[in-house]
Structure 1
Amino acid sequence: MKHILLSLIVCLISIHVFGQSLSEAEKFVPPVYQELPLGAIQPDGWLKHQLQIMRNGTSGHLDEVYAKIGKDNGWLGGTGDAWEETPYWLDGAVPLAWLLKDLTLQKKVKKYIDWTIEHQRSSGYFGGITNYELQNDTTVTVKNMKEAGADWWPKMVMLKVMKQYYQATGDPRVIGFMKKYFQFQINALKNAPLGQWTEWATSRGTENVMMAQWLFQVTKDESLLELASLIESQSFSWSEWFGNRDWVIWAAAYQNGDRWMHRHGVNVGMAIKSPAINYQRTGDQKYLKALKTGFTDLMTLHGLPMGIFSADEDLHGNDPIQGTELCAIVESMYSLEEIGSITGDPFYMDALERMAFNALPSQTTDDYNNKQYFQIANQVQISRGVFNFSLPFDREMNNVLGMRSGYTCCLANMHQGWPKFAQHLWYKNEKNGLAALVFSPNTVKTTVGSDNTEIEIVENTTYPFDEKIQFDLKMKNSVEFPFDIRIPAWCKNPSIKINGKKLPIENNGQIVSINRKWSNLDQLVVYFPMEVTTSNWGRNSTAIERGPLVYALKIKERWEKGNDEKEGDYFSVFPESDWNYGLVQDAVQNPKEHINVSAVKTVNSDFVWNLSHAPIEISVPGKQIPGWKAIEGVAYQPVTARDGIYKGKVSEKTEQLTLVPIGCTKVRIVAFPVVK
């Protein structure tokens, strides 16, 4: 007993002494996986075509078709927009320009970056010229920031732009620019705190914390960690809220104006990474626990089948008739990319793929020139209306496909989704090896191993539609390094072959690390068999899944073009075939026996996420529910009993329903009632 007590005393003394001696820098936890330089990954196949469409559309030309970005822009010294929309656009256009090696687009975005760097004030402040500066012929300083400065929030986005530009070019001006700004900020925040101008800054302070911590990893300047802690103290307490569970319950229960910024969907999408960012700075495991608790609770109470939570604009529960803002999707994707890098947890990479391949593609037109502000899971028509949104808008333009429909934040911000996804297909692991954590066709060129040997890996696949992913390695000299591969949690029987020889794998839902000496023309082939499964969602509804994709009823579409006096041209989409079907219970309970999968088209380099290109179709038995009708465009879910069966009148005729990937649809049913 004495030995036990003595050991306990020694342990407590050690915790006190050594715990207190740790500096902020020593507490800092480096990411499990490091980002590659922007441009090291080059998209191929369908993903490259998606980025080319964006480049040819609004992503590459927003400044030409949207006056707020191009005309007298504040980020170019003009009197126009100096707030969030220009940085939002650049946050997607910069990675797009370097992923495609597009010199014209690079030159275009660099114009805004150069002006911002070259017109940084001597104090370190940056951004558009403020009214105070114009009227008083002065510049913003630490002392006059409260009167002379402007909102902290848009600068957070521009810092992310600068980071990406630096990762692409190594331009040393960026590091000096950031150092000077953060030195200014740590002093100015004491007089002009984060919420001095808007609550957007306090709700999104994580973006600022993240950038200070990124610069710390480059410079090792401990004052940046002090700044990160200060910003966190002035921001919404997302990490605490995610961990203690009261917040997500409250957000599910109320839809009034009380604390609505606490449940604003885009705020939440950005904040998902808050616990991971705080863990990185402190090394405290409580933040990782809060992250898992908060994300799981969020998706349980507000999750929709396509992998995103409701956000129309607020969190709005898990009923399939709720909507989601496009900004919330792209911000959540970026948060998951950062979380995966910091934690190395494949759980979040599974979530990222589900979101990217299901929620993102269906919310824009094929040419990427029009978008929905809100999309709906069970979306039986796209039209003007109030629907069942927490922010319905008197103008009734939140659901239509338009360039300027709804708020234009999404017009500016939607461009980061696919480019950042492509940018994070690969990471470096701790032994200077490579990690393939999400999958799509691409080629990566980088260095690996102790001698930084140059290597090229071609990832040949049509994933997420195909089960096979082939990695072809090219190098001049053989080199030893660990090759990490994520095994998706949905895959029950994965297999890996190296040069035709099968490699044993323990189980799914993990990251397999293959550490060996690799040689030129080595080939690694991964097979992820995709079984058809069913899942339960809000209002006791059922979705059909196969691999990372969720499938929706294939409905014939009728498109109509309209025009709004203030918001311009837009498109409505109406169903031209029946949609009011339930899935037959036997098929839901025994999908292998009753559900058939057909590969109907090849995924080529001209693939577009639409009905005419849908490569996979699923046939499932269903019956029509005559009483299930849309009310003002909303397909309110039929009531089911505890056993999950709809008890109302159902057609006696069984039909074979055709389902396609939800990303290829505009009007659809994805969360089905179940019938006998």
Structure 2
Amino acid sequence: MRYLRLLALISIIVGFTPANVHSPVPSVFTPPVYHELPLGAVKPTGWLLHQLQLMRDGSTGHLDEIHDKIKKDNGWLGGQGDGWEETPYWLDGAVPLAYLLQDETLTRKVLKYINWTLDHQRPSGYFGPITHAEREKNISITVSNPQDGEDWWPKMVMLKVLQQYYTATGDARVVPFMTRYFKYQLQVLKKCPVGHWTEWATSRGADNVLVVQWLYNNTKEPFLLELASLLHQQSYPWTTWLGNRSWVIDAATQQNDDHWMRRHGVNVGMALKDPAINYQRSGSKKYLDSLYTGFHDLMTLHGLPMGIFSADEDLHGNAPTQGTELCAIVESMFSLEEIISITGDIRYMDALERMTFNALPAQTTDDYNNKQYFQIANQVQVKKGVFNFSLPFEREMNNVFGLRSGYTCCTANMHQGWTKFTSHLWYGTAGNGLAALTYSPCEVKAKVGKQQTPVIIRELTDYPFDDQISFIIQTAGVAEFPLQLRIPAWCSEAVITLNGQPLQKEKGGQVITLHRSWKNNDHLTLQLPMEVRISSWGRNSRAVERGPLVYALKLKERWVQAVDEREGPYYSIFPEGPWNYGLLEKAVKAPVQYFTVNKEKPVTAGFVWNLEHAPLSITTTAKQLPAWQMVDDVAPQPVTSREGVYKGKTTDQETTITLVPYGCTKVRVVAFPTVMDVIKP
């Protein structure tokens, strides 16, 4: 005891608290089912490479030049400008982009911020922009005056940036930097808890815990688990809310100022990983049950056809006229990527692909220089105005495409979506194997098997537009290792061949393992047959799906540019031609018979998510609903019978309509009413 008291006294003097002075740490830590590969181990190719190149040439590569909040006197470079979330948000996507593309110019650019952050950590462990108190009082932030520091929240984002940077470079400064900061946090959280400055930190504490536990998995320092538990205790109890069902119901019914941060869509997207993180620290399956319950309830009560929940800005129900904030999409994607690593549950792999290939590309322009703060599922026009959204009414720029339209959090945060999806296409497995859990054209480089044999696997595919994925294995000799492949739940039966010879067939909804000795130039092919399916959504609407893609009505787009005095240049988009169609009842009941899939053009290396490049279309016949018109600038879903059939007047004539991938559209209908084939007397 005397020794512990002496250590405690010394720690106060030198600003360091040993872990064993605090309460006992949890004795269980569950390693992730899949471990994340170092940033840069996966390289994009094909259409995905072009998507990242567009980002590099557009706003992701140049946001510090075109966005004043980051450009001017940046706090993360020692200035008095932005010291909040937007610079770390941007870096959270720009850093992985730099290393995925091995782009020297972008790497030099992001390293300025990383080096300043690492080089200006205070002796106490505190880090971040120079605080107001430090400037005014000429002091440094220590464990004795943590209240002179600033909000925990932006630092949580920068920790994710540094984590990615470390996996790409192995920079020896990062682990000691994080260790010092987390020791500082552990000492001062009782005086300045997570919510001391803002509720944003309280609602997003899981992001802090995530990096703490990542560091523990690397260093095994016991104090880190103690810190993780304390952060969890001081943050929103998302795991409890997700698991007890009443929270998601209340979020659907309450749209006032009471506890709105609990239903703020971006907070929810970040919070999805909270149960998985708690499971990792405890090993208790109850946390996985809470995750399953919460995600199921969230998508049931607030889910939209493009794979994301309504978040405009709050959770706002499942009507197809509700929208989603871009930040909510990219944060939900990241949460799912972490959930996949920790749990290995295929349900979240399927969900990630649906969200990525549908919701994400529809909310930015081709050049990646403009974004839409809110996208709407049935978006029959894009314009300035006040719509049926929960927040914020007075800003009329929430639905248009612009660099600064709506709130600029999404201007800074949208860059992590495609980049982190790319870096998580492959994971490492037990036995030094590799797992392809989501699919896109890429290649992965790793050392595998007991012998740590270097291999490169080239993934050649036009997925998600094509059903065939080829893996070409390159190795100096023979490499024995397990290779895992996901068979999506939407696939009835996958066909696998090796070097042109049948290998096996597998049912959907599982991850399979092929454990064998692989030879140089082995050619493994995974075929995932895609059939047209119909799914049901809010207000008895129906969506058309094929594979991971959802299809929307193809409408010609008329783009109009204008300038807002406060928020700068923006685009409105209007449809040309009718949009008020209903699907025929017979087609909804037998989609394979009544929907025709057409190959329009090849997926080239210059593919862009737009109408011009849409590789596929689906045609069917439909009828117009004359009474289905816009009300207050949106298109409220027509009321149907319990059987899901619209009983109002329709045109007698059937019209052929064309559907294209949702992600290629800007104006569209994706959630259709169903109409009777024959008008009954």
Q: TM-score, normalised by structure 2?
A: 0.95
Q: In the alignment, what sits opposite 1:619?
A: 619
Question: How far is 1:405 from its partner?
Answer: 0.4
1:272-287 aligned at under 5 Å gives the runs 272-287=272-287
Deviations 1:332-354 (A, max 9, x none): 00000000000011110000000
Q: In the alignment, what sits opposite 1:334?
A: 334
Q: In the alignment, what sits opposite 1:660?
A: 660
Distance in 1 (CA, whole Å) between partners of 2:395 and 2:359 is 25
* Kept after mapping to 2: 8 A contact 1:405/1:567: yes
Deviations 1:142-181 (A, max 9, x none): 11112x1100000000000000000100001000100000
Distance in 2 (CA, whole Å) between partners of 1:292 and 1:372 is 30
2:618 maps to 1:610: no
* Kept after mapping to 1: 8 A contact 2:493/2:505: no
2:538 maps to 1:538: yes
Question: How far is 1:505 from its partner?
Answer: 3.4
Q: In the alignment, what sits opposite 2:448?
A: 448
Distance in 2 (CA, whole Å) between partners of 1:666 and 1:306 is 13
Provide runs of 4+ in structure 1 moved above 3 Å: 23-26
Distance in 2 (CA, whole Å) between partners of 1:201 and 1:373 is 22
Question: How far is 1:66 from its partner?
Answer: 0.6
Deviations 1:187-221 (A, max 9, x none): 11010001000000000000001010000011100
Tell me the amino acid that sits aligned with residue 250 of structure 1: D
* Kept after mapping to 2: 8 A contact 1:385/1:632: no
Q: In the alignment, what sits opposite 2:418?
A: 418
Tell me the amino acid that sits aligned with residue 73 of structure 2: D
Deviations 1:408-429 (A, max 9, x none): 0000000000000000000010
Question: How far is 1:621 from its partner?
Answer: 1.2
* Kept after mapping to 2: 8 A contact 1:403/1:570: yes
Q: Report the secondary structure of 2:32's partner residue.
A: coil
Question: How far is 1:387 from its partner?
Answer: 1.4
* Kept after mapping to 2: 8 A contact 1:584/1:621: yes
1:35-434 aligned at under 5 Å gives the runs 35-146=36-147, 148-434=148-434
Q: In the alignment, what sits opposite 1:589?
A: 589
Tell me the amino acid that sits aligned with residue 114 of structure 1: N
Question: How far is 1:501 from its partner?
Answer: 2.3
Deviations 1:239-260 (A, max 9, x none): 0111111100100111111000
Q: In the alignment, what sits opposite 2:18?
A: none
2:527 maps to 1:527: yes
* Kept after mapping to 2: 8 A contact 1:24/1:282: no
* Kept after mapping to 1: 8 A contact 2:494/2:506: no
Question: How far is 1:393 from its partner?
Answer: 2.9
Question: How far is 1:26 from its partner?
Answer: 4.4
Distance in 2 (CA, whole Å) between partners of 1:336 and 1:395 is 31
Deviations 1:576-595 (A, max 9, x none): 11100000111110111111
* Kept after mapping to 1: 8 A contact 2:336/2:352: yes
Q: Report the secondary structure of 2:485's partner residue.
A: strand
Tell me the amino acid that sits aligned with residue 38 of structure 1: L
Q: In the alignment, what sits opposite 1:437?
A: 437
Tell me the amino acid that sits aligned with residue 259 of structure 1: H
Tell me the amino acid that sits aligned with residue 31 of structure 1: P
Q: In the alignment, what sits opposite 2:14?
A: none
Tell me the amino acid that sits aligned with residue 87 of structure 1: P
Q: Report the secondary structure of 1:445's partner residue.
A: strand
Q: Report the secondary structure of 2:432's partner residue.
A: coil
* Kept after mapping to 1: 8 A contact 2:493/2:506: no
Tell me the amino acid that sits aligned with residue 308 of structure 1: I
Deviations 1:43-85 (A, max 9, x none): 0000000000000000000000011112100000000000100
* Kept after mapping to 2: 8 A contact 1:24/1:281: no
Distance in 2 (CA, whole Å) between partners of 1:401 and 1:479 is 49
* Kept after mapping to 2: 8 A contact 1:245/1:294: yes
Question: How far is 1:498 from its partner?
Answer: 1.3
Question: How far is 1:125 from its partner?
Answer: 0.3
Q: Report the secondary structure of 2:144's partner residue.
A: coil
Q: TM-score, normalised by structure 1?
A: 0.96
Shifted more, 263-272 versus 492-501: the winner is: 492-501
Q: Report the secondary structure of 1:494's partner residue.
A: strand
Distance in 1 (CA, whole Å) between partners of 2:83 and 2:177 is 18
Q: What is the aligned residue count?
A: 653
Distance in 2 (CA, whole Å) between partners of 1:56 and 1:383 is 27
Distance in 1 (CA, whole Å) between partners of 2:109 and 2:46 is 26
Question: How far is 1:24 from its partner?
Answer: 4.7
Q: Report the secondary structure of 2:507's partner residue.
A: coil
Distance in 1 (CA, whole Å) between partners of 2:149 and 2:40 is 35
Distance in 2 (CA, whole Å) between partners of 1:475 and 1:24 is 44
Q: In the alignment, what sits opposite 2:9?
A: none
Distance in 2 (CA, whole Å) between partners of 1:511 and 1:473 is 20
Distance in 2 (CA, whole Å) between partners of 1:396 and 1:482 is 53
Q: Report the secondary structure of 2:332's partner residue.
A: helix
Tell me the amino acid that sits aligned with residue 489 of structure 1: A
Distance in 1 (CA, whole Å) between partners of 2:188 and 2:112 is 28
Distance in 2 (CA, whole Å) between partners of 1:633 and 1:512 is 48
Distance in 2 (CA, whole Å) between partners of 1:580 and 1:455 is 53
Q: Report the secondary structure of 1:552's partner residue.
A: strand
1:624-639 aligned at under 5 Å gives the runs 624-639=624-639
* Kept after mapping to 1: 8 A contact 2:387/2:393: no
Distance in 2 (CA, whole Å) between partners of 1:395 and 1:70 is 24
1:11-50 aligned at under 5 Å gives the runs 24=25, 26-50=27-51
Q: Which runs of 5 or more structure 1 residues have no equivalent in the other structure? A: 1-22
Distance in 1 (CA, whole Å) between partners of 2:108 and 2:632 is 47
Tell me the amino acid that sits aligned with residue 92 of structure 1: G
Distance in 2 (CA, whole Å) between partners of 1:668 and 1:320 is 11
Question: How far is 1:226 from its partner?
Answer: 0.2
Q: Report the secondary structure of 2:256's partner residue.
A: coil
Q: Report the secondary structure of 2:558's partner residue.
A: strand
Distance in 1 (CA, whole Å) between partners of 2:628 and 2:64 is 45
* Kept after mapping to 2: 8 A contact 1:444/1:456: yes
Q: In the alignment, what sits opposite 1:642?
A: 642
Question: How far is 1:446 from its partner?
Answer: 1.1
Q: Which runs of 5 or more structure 2 residues have no equivalent in the other structure? A: 1-23, 677-681
Q: Report the secondary structure of 1:338's partner residue.
A: helix
Q: What's the C-alpha RMSD, in Å, of the aligned pairs?
A: 0.8
Q: In the alignment, what sits opposite 1:472?
A: 472
Distance in 2 (CA, whole Å) between partners of 1:24 and 1:582 is 59
Q: In the alignment, what sits opposite 1:5?
A: none
Distance in 2 (CA, whole Å) between partners of 1:215 and 1:392 is 38
